[in-house]
Structure 1
Amino acid sequence: MPTNAPFRCSIGALLLLAMSGLPCAPAAAETLRVGKAVAEAFSFVPLDIGTRKGLFAKQGLDIESIAFTGDARMQQAMASDSLDIALGSGPAMAFIVKGAPIKAIAAMAGPPLLLAIVVRPDGPKTAADLKGKKISVSTAGSLTYWLVSETSRRQGWGPKGIEIAPMGAMPGQVAAMKRGDIDGAIMDIGNAFELEKRGEGRILVRFTDIKDFHIHVIYATDKLIAQRPDAVRGFLKGWFETIAVMRQNKAETVAIASEVTHKNPEINSRVYDELMSMFSDDGRFDRRALATLAKSYVELQLLPQEPDMTALYTEAFLPK
């Protein structure tokens, strides 16, 4: 019976390769399109660090990072199959109830330590002075929107005691604050530190008293979960390995963060000290944090009633 010559040669080549001790050629990396809700927040720097350190490549993944100007636009990209995974906010889980073809796959970070309400140096002196003032946020229904609304509610004014102005990307918000078009803006703590250092802003409100919360959540499309579950597992393994590396290597983390966020190392050193405690080490969802989120959806009138939060997430892909 004739032997297939090409097949015989390929087998021979494999045997010689095995005998030589040389490694086989690596399989092609699997591309994952990963979205950041905003471009320059420290919260999303782990994606860059994990990519540069080869922690996602170790899982056979090639990361294509795509930045947006808020959760709403990123969720639209997921709905149109332009993204596979999104690094977003806890409040964005409400999109799932509304029919978004996604699922929360990991609790990325807890208390909202990232954000602060910043006003002009001559602006309101206390949170009690914010009634009726105009504060900018990224988009309607976003994490920043909820935090301003929650500030109003905690002052006893209900969710609409502060005028909320969705304005997209941060540079436009800062410019509007300088012009006096708005009274303040909610922004990541790195931008807040930078404005304070330049004498162009003053931190008025931090959200350190909100303990039971998931400020950030990692999402995957239903399509990715169904068709490439191993890629989901690999991404989360790479992500949490990255968090561990960041905890052990402040200097390198600050150096990379400074490149990504375009802020000087002094600012990012402060940000690192402020924010590393908020990152989850295992991605598990917290029952009390989920209850806070469920309540927020009704307060923001995103949903008519609190949803069954267990239907919105899965922990099946978390590292064991």
Structure 2
Amino acid sequence: MAWRSLLSAILLLALAGVSQAQSPKVWRHGVIEPKSDAGFVMTASRRNFGDKFGVKLETLSLKNGQIALKALLAGEIDSAETGAGEAIIAASAGADVKIIGCNWPGLPHAVFVKSDIADVQGLKGKAIAASAPGSLPDLLIRSLLEKSSIPMADVRIASLGGDLDRYKALTAGVVDAAVISSEYVPIAPKSVRLMLAGRDVIPNFMRLCIAVSGKTARERPDEAARFLAAEIAAGRYAVSHRDETVALTREVTGMKPEDPRPEFVFDETVKQRDFDPDVPIPMNKLAWMQDQLAKTGNVRHPLDLAKLVDPQIRSQGLALAGN
């Protein structure tokens, strides 16, 4: 619509605040270490999508969402891609954090097991690789065990960093099961199999959201909106340009041409709609996640989730990107 294009142009001029003679402001965005989905999250910075919106994006790779959130709250980065659960836990404990959109509302993770484990009940007495308390892997496995009426005391949960760490632990026989990305399906040895896709077990579970500090939301909302507009525009481009996105994934990760994971992950992500460029804020899913975190003891004082989100920054970002 013409009026939408006009609104986008007006907002861009009003919010940019950067003259042609000035260099764009640097915006430091923390993401979880690049994997086979790197093309989706790195397009904005690697392909200079921030230039149009008056921001120079710098993407920093961090081990996991918990570390990303700590870096955000310490002021080391301006925004962070972090687990929705981790943001809820931090906010319930008093951290001043705001979710401005969720770019990964879907759940590509799954429970992989040794091939001799037939079903969920077979996890009793086994060692399971997850991650930090409140993280995606931790909450997924706890929710699965609860749904299957398996007491936590009947399993051993090992916190083992990132997906690659957990995958290596499983294939080496250090653990019996692991919560990892489904990207390992095409390369997993016969001794390991995907037992359950996370989305089939807990469809309300969200993978990742984009967060800023409360201070940034209050004092630099226009700058945050420009950053988000760049992410939205880049995400839309990424999902509609398969070859370029896959090529960027290989560029970022160094994966060899014969590695099938970049193509597999792109196709699965688009098919399942695990990645949403328009960064929605599904309050019903956030509420479900907080309930689960309260059940597992990760959240002791549930918060008003309306105070955790800043939909206005998202609205401005969408308008700038061309709603």
Shift in Å, 1:35: 0.9
Please report the TM-score for the alignment, with normalisation by the length of structure 2: 0.83
Query: Per the alignment, in what secondary structure is the counterpart of residue 208 of structure 1?
Result: helix
Query: Per the alignment, in what secondary structure is the counterpart of residue 56 of structure 2?
Result: strand
Which of 206, 218, 222 matches 1:226? 218
1:301 corresponding residue in structure 2: 297
**AA partner of residue 34 (structure 1):** H
Within 5 Å, give how 1:284-299 maps onto structure 2. Answer: 284-299=280-295
Within 5 Å, give how 1:46-125 maps onto structure 2. Answer: 46-93=40-87, 94-112=89-107, 114-120=108-114, 122-125=115-118
Which of 99, 119, 123 matches 1:126? 119
Shift in Å, 1:230: 1.9
Q: Deviations over 1:175-210 (max 9, x none)?
A: 3323322112211122x22432x5463212211223
Q: Which has the higher contact order (CA 8 A, sep 6+)?
A: 2
Relative to structure 1, is the Cα distance of residues 214 and 174 closer, same or farther in structure 2, using a 3 angstrom cutoff?
closer
* Conserved 8 A contact 2:170-2:177: yes
1:183 corresponding residue in structure 2: 176
C-alpha distance in 1 between matches for 2:71 and 2:157: 25
Please report the TM-score for the alignment, with normalisation by the length of structure 1: 0.83
Deviates more, 1:168-177 or 1:240-249: 168-177
**AA partner of residue 257 (structure 1):** T
Query: Per the alignment, in what secondary structure is the counterpart of residue 62 of structure 1?
Result: strand
C-alpha distance in 1 between matches for 2:287 and 2:218: 28
CA RMSD of aligned residues (A): 2.2
Shift in Å, 1:74: 1.7
C-alpha distance in 1 between matches for 2:185 and 2:118: 17
1:32 corresponding residue in structure 2: 27
1:244 corresponding residue in structure 2: 236
C-alpha distance in 1 between matches for 2:182 and 2:136: 14
* Conserved 8 A contact 1:123-1:183: no
Question: Does residue 138 of the first structure (1) align with residue 131 of the second (2)?
Answer: yes
Relative to structure 1, is the Cα distance of residues 48 and 111 closer, same or farther in structure 2, using a 3 angstrom cutoff?
closer
Shift in Å, 1:278: 1.6
Write out the 4+ residue segments of structure 1 that deviate beyond 4 Å after TM superposition. Answer: 158-161
* Conserved 8 A contact 2:39-2:247: no
Shift in Å, 1:146: 0.2
Query: Per the alignment, in what secondary structure is the counterpart of residue 77 of structure 1?
Result: helix
Relative to structure 1, is the Cα distance of residues 105 and 177 closer, same or farther in structure 2, using a 3 angstrom cutoff?
same
* Conserved 8 A contact 2:167-2:180: no
Relative to structure 1, is the Cα distance of residues 260 and 127 closer, same or farther in structure 2, using a 3 angstrom cutoff?
farther
* Conserved 8 A contact 1:117-1:186: yes
> For the pair shown, which has the larger CA radius of gyration, 1 or 2?
1
Question: Does residue 267 of the first structure (1) align with residue 261 of the second (2)?
Answer: yes
* Conserved 8 A contact 2:166-2:178: yes
Query: Per the alignment, in what secondary structure is the counterpart of residue 76 of structure 1?
Result: helix
Uncovered stretches (5+) of structure 1, i.e. residues with no partner: 1-23
C-alpha distance in 2 between matches for 1:128 and 1:260: 39
Q: How many residues align?
A: 292
2:161 corresponding residue in structure 1: 168
Shift in Å, 1:160: 5.2
Percent identity over the alignment? Answer: 20
C-alpha distance in 2 between matches for 1:138 and 1:68: 14
Relative to structure 1, is the Cα distance of residues 283 and 164 closer, same or farther in structure 2, using a 3 angstrom cutoff?
same
**AA partner of residue 210 (structure 2):** I
Shift in Å, 1:96: 1.3
C-alpha distance in 1 between matches for 2:187 and 2:77: 33
Shift in Å, 1:315: 0.6
Uncovered stretches (5+) of structure 2, i.e. residues with no partner: 1-18
Deviates more, 1:299-308 or 1:74-83: 299-308
